[in-house]
Structure 1
């Protein structure tokens, strides 16, 4: 994880983030990510072809751990049902809880942690776009996989379409298997718990949570092992890119501040002088022209001869008519 005192993060770490700016930002980014997943569903035949290709590569490399795990979860409800609950809920609960925990207790590390998560998520979205992949559970039954979430749907709120609540399956992209952000986000949580937890329990949780998540996504037939590996690679790429993103954000913020500074200064000056007269004391008008409520200096007490009315010729004022 990028250090808070690394180049590009030092300036950001000096200012404590505010929840009323962070929450809308995170919600906006997640909404864009979710919409992006729906917009890049891709062709089903391509997704199935990519899924079978992943499966063939794993068999060649003797990495096919999905089949035995899926058979175990299908035959043993005491494993399969908790695994489905784990897959359907913890992804959306643990990640924001860890983010809030870092925000409250490790504020100096928060911006780097948040930027790492968001950057990696967008990299994952690129993967869904470039390589739509059919998960094992959606392959033909001849390939030997059982969708445990459909198999045990009577135990939970989900239906037969991913982890979405019943009736909302159409709101998900079921072919966004590569990379597995379930594993990627769990790894992010694990790293933060290990580094900043400070207790043995948090360190154990930092190791157990991503490992169990990896087993769960394969046992429930939602991801291949290579999907999980790709999720870890995406998080690694996000970790590398994060310092550059932070530096770019700081430069953009500085440029925006510099661009708005003249406008803010002019506004401040105008506000400060709002009680002053509209016309300055040295303003002159053409002969005979007067501004509303302008005082006639000719009748000012003690005015000299130059300010008097027309003379009679001997210095005496002209008689009134």
Structure 2
């Protein structure tokens, strides 16, 4: 039987890729708004420390494992602590940016979905940062945790009183974890490889790093995961048909019977 390759009749057209200049301006604008918003939450040292004590006590009441159990694994040697600090300082933004660029180039419909989800989670996080300033566990003496970035380096933060580039009292929710989890979920949804579930190692490793370096509490990651879950429930991912169209799927269909007869006669 002769066959020919032709686009499947039921397949939708490949989703249009958003204009790159508009997307660059949009992403840059969202980043600047977030950075400016974080600055509005600075200066609430006493309140942030009170909230930190409340979160620490709540975790003990909930019988969550102590953050120190993770940190103790890093303090066996300088190397592990420095690797964790470097991961915390350098992976967060580049990994998310690479994720968005790949989706933009290869899965445009999924890119729009992921960008909307990340924007929603980040906006909700900003509101919480303003309403509930929270000092990280490295600043709370009651935790007994070490500020691994200050002791072993590298550090992305200076003293809170002089650090004007970041808000160190924005521990809850953890966008490090929220973004990492979205990267993993986005790649799992947008790809079909049987190995795609390994992307979950990224948020898992991120969780161990943010807790082990004493930059976040367990509850910071729990709240980030909850916000992401709400965003994903409201902003639906593209269906399988969109994924197929993005991949330029084509299928082999049998040639019509009359064409097979003509081909046979020509031979």
Residue 207 of structure 2: which of 207, 214, 219 is its match?
214
Shift of the 128–62 alpha-carbon distance from structure 1 to 2, 3 Å rule, reads same
Shift of the 169–202 alpha-carbon distance from structure 1 to 2, 3 Å rule, reads farther
Aligned twin of 1:102? 103
Identify the structure with bigger relative contact order (alpha carbons < 8 Å, sequence gap 6+): 2
Kept after mapping to 2: 8 A contact 1:69/1:219 = yes
Matched, 1:131 2:132: yes
CA distance in 2, matches of 1:239, 1:42: 33
SS in 1 for 2:192: coil
Aligned twin of 1:231? 224
**1:30-109 correspondence to structure 2 within 5 Å:** 30-41=31-42, 43-109=44-110
Aligned twin of 2:149? 149
**Could you report, residue by residue, the CA deviation over 1:204-249 in whole angstroms, capped at 9, with x for unpaired residues?**
1x21000110111000000000001011111112223436xxxxxx
- Cα RMSD over matched residues? 2.1
Task: Structure 2 unaligned segments of length 5 or more: list them.
Answer: 1-13, 237-267
Shift of the 200–160 alpha-carbon distance from structure 1 to 2, 3 Å rule, reads farther
Aligned twin of 1:185? 179
CA distance in 2, matches of 1:44, 1:127: 16
Kept after mapping to 2: 8 A contact 1:40/1:129 = yes
1:170 to partner: Cα distance:
2.6
Residue 240 of structure 1: which of 228, 233, 237 is its match?
233
CA radius of gyration, larger in: 1
1:161 to partner: Cα distance:
4.9
SS in 2 for 1:123: helix
1:72 to partner: Cα distance:
2.5
Kept after mapping to 2: 8 A contact 1:188/1:235 = yes
CA distance in 2, matches of 1:201, 1:27: 32
Task: Structure 1 unaligned segments of length 5 or more: list them.
Answer: 1-12, 163-167, 244-321
1:113 to partner: Cα distance:
1.3
Shift of the 111–200 alpha-carbon distance from structure 1 to 2, 3 Å rule, reads same
Shift of the 75–183 alpha-carbon distance from structure 1 to 2, 3 Å rule, reads same
SS in 2 for 1:170: coil
Residue 196 of structure 1: which of 167, 190, 193 is its match?
190
Q: Give the length in aligned residue pairs.
A: 223
Aligned twin of 2:5? none
Moved over 6 A (4+): none
Shift of the 32–235 alpha-carbon distance from structure 1 to 2, 3 Å rule, reads same
**1:150-169 correspondence to structure 2 within 5 Å:** 150-153=150-153, 156=154, 158=156, 160-161=158-159, 169=163
1:160 to partner: Cα distance:
4.7
SS in 1 for 2:183: helix
